[in-house]
Amino acid sequence: MRSVKMLVAAISILLGSCMSLQFPCENTYEKAYLGMSEKEFMNKHLQVKMEYLSSETIIYSIRYNAEDGFGSNGDGTYKKYYYFLHRELIEIDQGQSLINYGLQVPEELM
């Protein structure tokens, strides 16, 4: 009976670790949440590119490595956009909302 429990535990651990490779938790590498301040965002993300700036709105992007295939656009990377209104994060996407700001939507999203 003890060996059966050990076998079940070993299989559970193995499957759990394999599933984490298949479906990575974005929170482990993307430390952003709606409502966070721009200052906190900038402190946690060092490789940020400003895509748009107005008196009320700022849009940043970050290019992520997608070796695991998650969200990849075919070249092994993908980009996420972070929308700030009055210095507060209000939206995160992969570029779908850029058109709302008069910006060009990436071709792979069309």
Q: Which domain holds residue 89?
A: 26-109
Total number of domains constituting the chain: 1
- What is the SS3 assignment for 9? helix
Domain CATH code at residue 44: 3.30.1450
Banded pLDDT at 77 (limits 50, 70, 90):
confident
Question: What is the pLDDT, as a whole number, of residue 48?
Answer: 92
Banded pLDDT at 89 (limits 50, 70, 90):
very high
Banded pLDDT at 73 (limits 50, 70, 90):
low
7 is a domain residue? no
104 is a domain residue? yes
C-alpha to C-alpha distance for 20 and 36, rounded to whole angstroms: 26
Tens of pLDDT along 47-69? 899 999 999 999 999 987 765 45
Instruction: Compute CA distances 100 → 10, 12, 64, 96, whole Å.
Output: 50, 45, 23, 9
Q: Are 60 and 82 in contact (CB under 8 A)?
A: yes
Tens of pLDDT along 5-31? 666 666 666 555 544 444 444 544 578
87 is a domain residue? yes
8 is a domain residue? no
